[in-house]
Amino acid sequence: MDDNTQHRTRLPMRARLATTVGGAAATVSRLAGKGDGSVIGGIIGLRLAPDLLSQLATGRQVVLVTGTNGKTTTTKLITAALAPLGSKIASNIYGANMEAGLTSALSRAPDAPVAVLETDEKYIPAMVKATRPKVVVLLNLSRDQMDRAAEIWLLARRWRDALAAAPDCRVVANADDPLVAWAASAAGKVTWVAAGQRWREDSWCCPNCGAHLQREGDDWSCRECGGRRPPVSWMLYGDEVIDPSGRATQLGLALPGRANRSNAVIALAVAEAFGVHLSHALAELRKVTSVAGRYTQVNRRGCDIRLLLAKNPAGWLEALDVMVPPPVPVLLAVNAQGPDGKDTSWLWDVDFRRLRGRPILVGGERRLDLAVRLEADEVAFRLVNDIDEAVDAALAVGAAAAGPGGTAPSLEVLANYTAFQQYRVALGRVQ
Ligand SMILES: [Zn+2]
């Protein structure tokens, strides 16, 4: 009997029916052109069997990945790093990261003994309970949209309580984020990683006692209660990873930027918890070139376009760090539909001054909000109505820069969620 049959026969009749009906609904949803159908399938499955997720998780080694930024990328990197296990791995690769999305990811891969699941921050307590994970990854915690600012301290408290109640679970946590460190320190087993904290506005106060935190470089401590950054066993140093034995190894990733290197170090720490050797895991990480269309290159009319998605101030700061240097033009695009948050005042938390002196194009439904913000930072820009207008501008810059040793015309695109999706569709649903 293979793994697949074993797992299916273990499920009670009602759960089996729920996964079948849920799967059929997902297929219908896909055919109707509404995404990959994972959410609708999961919702129908959960209606038929409310404890379906917990039944589907039984007998599997589950990794839950959460944090405000980097969840999707880290989930993909961990999945890659665990490839040397040779096992089938279930994962919600399309970013459906609440209960229905997780349920759907597991029901689509009934024979996968390992699951790596991106999980919404708010759902961590319930999902820890339902899936009894082997590993929980805590990346960072900052406000996602203005209207959610008050929630993060409460969230950290809920993570802390959930992890304290799951003593067998290993937590891989970012020691550089005080809120994350505080939540993880209640867990039974913790692997501390120095994964960096680009965005610090939400963590000037000690999560334990509320006093002002002392910071020196990446180090932080509290004079009032003695809380401090835990000693780390994994760290990123330039382009090298320092492993728990103290050995440095070149990362050499295809994905750009410091945030992705940090996420890769986290993935290596998770791979270690599964007994995968660093060199084997790293070889797989180097093969990852794009994540759900982020960092994707596409060519349009002879112009190389690189697409970057960033949803909040912390993400925009990270993305501005990985921009290729001038004179390559940058297209910035902002929408304010539901998934983006209706309020664009977060733009004022991003320092755009580093964009001065290079060609900047501004698009998206809220391009005027962005224009006002750039005016204030004295960044010159031009408004564009769509991606093709931006490509025209990039081709013009490319033609001016052409000559011996010149490179092909190119364009950097940085957009928030729905603006990114619109460009992706306009460019032919690039992966
Ligand atoms: Zn304190």
Dihedral sign for Cα atoms in the order 397, 398, 402, 406: positive
Q: How far is the CA of 234 from the centre of ligand 1 (A)?
A: 25
Q: How far apart are CA 54 and CA 57, in angstroms?
A: 5
> Smallest Cα–Cα separation from 337: which of 311, 308, 314, 307?
311
> Is 268 a residue whose pLDDT tops 80?
yes
Q: How far is the CA of 291 from the centre of ligand 1 (A)?
A: 38
Check residue 232 and give its pLDDT: 96
Q: How far is the CA of 228 from the centre of ligand 1 (A)?
A: 8
* DSSP state, residue 18: H
Q: In which band, very low, low, confident or very high, does the pLDDT at 40 lie, cut at 50, 70 and 90?
A: low
**281-305: string of b/e by CB count within 10 Å (b at 16+)?**
bbebbbebebbbbbbbebebeebbb
Check residue 28 and give its pLDDT: 55
Amino acid identity of 48?
Answer: L
pTM recorded for the entire structure:
0.74
Q: How far is the CA of 218 from the centre of ligand 1 (A)?
A: 17
DSSP letters for 41-60: HHHHHHHH-TTHHHHHHTTS
Q: How far is the CA of 210 from the centre of ligand 1 (A)?
A: 6
Could you tell me the two tokens for 138?
Answer: 């805590």
Q: How far apart are CA 313 and CA 385, in angstroms?
A: 24
Q: How far is the CA of 205 from the centre of ligand 1 (A)?
A: 8
Q: How far is the CA of 348 from the centre of ligand 1 (A)?
A: 29
Per DSSP bridges, beta strands 382-383 and 296-300 are unpaired
Q: Are 331 and 308 in contact (CB under 8 A)?
A: no
Q: Are 391 and 301 in contact (CB under 8 A)?
A: yes
Q: How far is the CA of 295 from the centre of ligand 1 (A)?
A: 39
Q: How far is the CA of 204 from the centre of ligand 1 (A)?
A: 11
Residue, of 34 and 252, whose pLDDT is higher: 252
Could you tell me the two tokens for 35?
Answer: 């995404």
Residue, of 309 and 10, whose pLDDT is higher: 309
Residue, of 382 and 52, whose pLDDT is higher: 382
Check residue 303 and give its pLDDT: 92
> Is 147 a residue whose pLDDT tops 70?
no
Task: Give ion ligand 1 contacts, CB < 5 A.
Answer: 206, 208-209, 211, 222, 224-225, 227
Q: In which band, very low, low, confident or very high, does the pLDDT at 150 lie, cut at 50, 70 and 90?
A: low
Listed range (82-86, 95-99, 115-119, 201-205) with the worst mean pLDDT = 201-205
Q: How far is the CA of 143 from the centre of ligand 1 (A)?
A: 21
Q: Are 327 and 412 in contact (CB under 8 A)?
A: no
Q: In which band, very low, low, confident or very high, does the pLDDT at 8 lie, cut at 50, 70 and 90?
A: very low
Q: Are 38 and 96 in contact (CB under 8 A)?
A: yes
Check residue 324 and give its pLDDT: 77
Check residue 125 and give its pLDDT: 95
Q: How far is the CA of 195 from the centre of ligand 1 (A)?
A: 22
Q: How far is the CA of 211 from the centre of ligand 1 (A)?
A: 5
Q: How far apart are CA 355 and CA 124, in angstroms?
A: 37
Q: In which band, very low, low, confident or very high, does the pLDDT at 407 lie, cut at 50, 70 and 90?
A: low
Check residue 3 and give its pLDDT: 45
Q: How far apart are CA 203 and CA 141, in angstroms?
A: 9
Residue, of 318 and 260, whose pLDDT is higher: 260
| pLDDT mean across residues, the chain | 86
Q: What 3-state DSSP class applies to 305?
A: strand
Q: How far is the CA of 157 from the centre of ligand 1 (A)?
A: 15
Q: Are 356 and 387 in contact (CB under 8 A)?
A: no
Q: How far is the CA of 223 from the centre of ligand 1 (A)?
A: 7
Amino acid identity of 84?
Answer: P
Listed range (70-74, 143-147, 316-320) with the worst mean pLDDT = 143-147
pLDDT tens-digit map of 347-356: 888 889 989 9
Q: How far apart are CA 198 and CA 417, in angstroms?
A: 20
Check residue 335 and give its pLDDT: 96
Q: How far apart are CA 408 and CA 359, in angstroms?
A: 16
* Residues 6+ positions from 62 with CB-CB distance below 8 Å: 114, 115, 117, 131, 132, 133, 134, 135
Q: How far is the CA of 216 from the centre of ligand 1 (A)?
A: 16
* DSSP state, residue 356: T
Per DSSP bridges, beta strands 410-415 and 330-333 are parallel
Check residue 146 and give its pLDDT: 43
